[in-house]
Structure 1
Amino acid sequence: MRALTYQSVTKVSVEDVPDPRIIDPTDAVIKVTSAAICGSDLHLYDVFDSYLDKGDILGHETMGVVTQVGSAVGRVKVGDRVVVPFVIACGDCFMCDRGLFSQCETTQVTEYGSGATLYGFSKLYGQVPGGQAEQLRVPLADANLVTVGHDLPDERYLFLSDILPTAWQGVEYAQVPEGGTLVVLGLGPVGQFASRIGVHRGYRVIGIDPVPERRAMAERHGVEVLDLTKDIADVVSGMTDGRGPDSVLDAVGMEAHDHGGVTAVQKFAAVLPDKVGQAVLQKAGLDALGAMHLAFEIVRRGGTVSLSGVYGGTADPTPFLTLFDKQITLKMGQCNVQRWMDTLMPLVEDPADPLGTMDLVTHPVPLAEAPAMYELFKQKDDGCIKVVLKP
């Protein structure tokens, strides 16, 4: 089959690789019909080289049709149309029973002290081949595959794999009071959905992003939008009675704009031998923290900051004086995708499409164009907000 593979820092290519097969009796194999590029894929593209091997298949936002099932698979059958949550969980351990699927004790990557195994996401999370490919092997298929109908287009369902539940969890964690104000930092795919979810719930939502096309998209869905300017904290304060918003959701993470120092460390670690690079990231890894620190600055006293954007640094400076003095609640974590399926499915299948799933994809392209799309998405060129690959 053809698959998008990692080659080296900022270099990926579509190659011929072996077809996936049933390894364990709880496995299934799907024919991929759609696979998206996520902002998290960019972290692998240009930061985490020391945790990747040449030829690793990337991608964790996937859906398709089941073509094979193992002998122990009972709920899922050949021919089912399915969405694949990016978190691989058993569904019945201590953590899964508490809705913490991303901490599944059955699939935790204990070698690196990480949570549940993820598709296409480096050795840190199990090095399981990802879904930017023509086919995908799905471990623990009964616990992980989400069956959907055949009538609606892929774009209605695809984002249940990651960014829609990630956005929903982020808004849940933001603890916005009834009728309150939510600021969303970053209007990429997760920020777009988080903003729309906030509007859907009746909050006042203010979205901040430096990219005009992203602001325009959010504005179509009832979001008040602002450019990222030097005086943005003062602007937000003036819009919220001088107090700041009740809650801030950081949908940017380590992709925040950097003035050079953090990026230099990341690039340095990426070109070192694997073991050395891993040691640097484990002991001195840094993130660009502009978005997080802005969230701490603008949220009102007693408010909540929710981190949906991914952070991976182990030596990040954190302004605890500000957090403590302002009595800020901070909530974060990898999305527990499976936990939110029953809540989100009716919204996704609603004919009115209240979360605008059909207004997100800007670049639907063949799988063969994936390498160019990685760079386009990274640079935010050509109005690129969301790329969907069609194998």
Structure 2
Amino acid sequence: MRAMVYRGPYRIRVEEKPMPRIEHPNDAIIQVKLAAICGSDLHLYHGMMPDTRVGHTFGHEFIGVVHEVGGSVQNLKVGDRVMVPFNVYCGSCYFCARGLYSNCHNVNPNATAVGGIYGYSHTCGGYDGGQAEFVRVPFADVGPAVIPDWMEDEDAVLLTDALATGYFGAQLGDIREGDTVVVLGAGPVGLYAARSAWLMGAGRVIVVDQVPERLEKARTFAYAETISFRETPDVVVRLKKETDYLGADVVIDAVGAEADGNLTQLVTGTKLKMQGGSPTALNWAIDSVRKGGTVSVMGAYGPIFSAVKFGDALNKGLTLRMNQCPVKRQWPRLFEHIRNGYLKPSDIVTHRIPLEHIAEGYHMFSAKLDGCIKTLVVPEGA
């Protein structure tokens, strides 16, 4: 089969790889019909995530058709159109039994915190991802779900991570009616978090970014006020002014490891790789939320040791909530929002590219060229 493979930071290509095979009776092989490039894929692309091995196939957002099933699979059959959450999880351990699918205890021998993630390095289990023609899906009776007949493919693929994660970010904010919610980052997850905040009762939503096209999308898709931090001398002071000098009730960090800002942290984190990213956005969240407020962290981070303002968070009495999204837990409510017309996930899609051109797709997304916000990847013959 043809698949995207990693050859080192900023170096990816499409090559022939062996077809995935059934390795356990609970496995399924999915023929990928549509995948996506996620903002967190860029952390891999830039060499930010540890143990990203040469030859690994990225891609944790994908849908497809069941090509083959193992002997124990009962809930899927060949030919089913399915959506696959980015979490690999067993469904039966202590954490899965409590709905913490992203923290499954049985699928990742390399970490005690995160469970398994498709296409996200050996730190997250080493599972090949869906930026390929075929992918092996373990625990096939647990993770994948048959796509409802009424749901379009381009909406379904965005439910496998970006929309579910943005919704989860707003959910972790514990938004109360009338709250002022600030979202740092207007990438796909930030846009979905901002839109979801309204569904949870927010009275005001402000999105912070620097890319004009993304800020425009925040206004038209998420109906949010916007602030460009490139045009603002001090974004924290600006946010305080916007909130009667109290701070926002909830701040959602939808940026993560590659935030621009503090030069020392940017150089040590994103350039020299001395730590797992820059905590600039996290510190902005801590500084701009009100005392007693809530910070929700959706941005992906590696190990960070440099100058996170934890003392300030303590002294302000903040609630910090974060996790990798347990995707399937969000689906029932999101299905209803989409079916009722409150959300159209594919409205943020700007580019659709063939799998063979995925290297150009990564470059365009990474460099924020051509107004790129969300890119879908279409394998040949899909």
TM-score when normalising by structure 1: 0.92
| 1:351-372 residue CA offsets vs partner (Å, 9 max, x unmatched) | x2x2231211111111111101
| 1:6-25 residue CA offsets vs partner (Å, 9 max, x unmatched) | 01111000111111111111
| 1:228-272 residue CA offsets vs partner (Å, 9 max, x unmatched) | 1223222222221221110000000102015554454457776xx
2:362 to 366, 374, 377: 374
Name which of structure 1's ranges 209-218 and 150-159 shifts more when overlaid on structure 2: 150-159
What are the ranges of 5 or more consecutive residues in structure 1 without an aligned counterpart?
A: 271-283
Indicate yes or no: 2:302 matched with 1:312.
Answer: yes
1:291 to 269, 275, 281: 281
| 1:189-236 residue CA offsets vs partner (Å, 9 max, x unmatched) | 000100110122331111111111111111113111111122322222
Which residue identity lines up with residue 41 of structure 1 in the other structure? D
Q: Tell me the distance in 2 between the aligned counterparts of 1:348 and 1:244.
A: 32
What corresponds to 2:10 in structure 1? 10
Q: Is the 8 Å Cα contact of residues 48 and 302 (structure 2) preserved in structure 1?
A: no
> Cα distance 1:225–1:265, how it changes in 2: closer, same or farther (>3 A)?
closer
Q: Secondary structure at the match of 1:248?
A: strand
Q: Is the 8 Å Cα contact of residues 270 and 277 (structure 2) preserved in structure 1?
A: no
What corresponds to 1:333 in structure 2? 323
Which residue identity lines up with residue 192 of structure 1 in the other structure? L
Q: Secondary structure at the match of 2:30?
A: strand
Q: Tell me the distance in 1 between the aligned counterparts of 2:288 and 2:336.
A: 34
Q: Tell me the distance in 2 between the aligned counterparts of 1:333 and 1:244.
A: 24
> Cα distance 1:153–1:125, how it changes in 2: closer, same or farther (>3 A)?
same
The alpha-carbon deviation at position 71 of structure 1 amounts to 0.6
What corresponds to 2:335 in structure 1? 345
TM-score when normalising by structure 2: 0.94
Aligned length, in residue pairs: 375
What corresponds to 2:156 in structure 1? 157
The alpha-carbon deviation at position 341 of structure 1 amounts to 1.7
What corresponds to 2:179 in structure 1? 180
Q: Secondary structure at the match of 1:246?
A: strand
> Cα distance 1:45–1:23, how it changes in 2: closer, same or farther (>3 A)?
same
Q: Secondary structure at the match of 1:170?
A: helix
Identity %: 40
Name which of structure 1's ranges 206-215 and 142-151 shifts more when overlaid on structure 2: 142-151
What corresponds to 1:223 in structure 2? 224
Q: Tell me the distance in 2 between the aligned counterparts of 1:118 and 1:382.
A: 29
Q: Is the 8 Å Cα contact of residues 252 and 297 (structure 2) preserved in structure 1?
A: yes
The alpha-carbon deviation at position 70 of structure 1 amounts to 0.7
What corresponds to 1:357 in structure 2? 345
Q: Tell me the distance in 1 between the aligned counterparts of 2:163 and 2:287.
A: 27
Which residue identity lines up with residue 237 of structure 1 in the other structure? K
What corresponds to 1:137 in structure 2? 136
1:238 to 238, 241, 245: 241
Q: Is the 8 Å Cα contact of residues 265 and 279 (structure 2) preserved in structure 1?
A: no
Which residue identity lines up with residue 243 of structure 2 in the other structure? T
Q: Which has the higher helix share?
A: 1
Which residue identity lines up with residue 121 of structure 2 in the other structure? S
| 1:151-171 residue CA offsets vs partner (Å, 9 max, x unmatched) | 432111111111111111111
Over the aligned positions, Cα root-mean-square deviation in angstroms equals: 1.7
What corresponds to 2:69 in structure 1? 69
Q: Tell me the distance in 1 between the aligned counterparts of 2:110 and 2:219.
A: 44
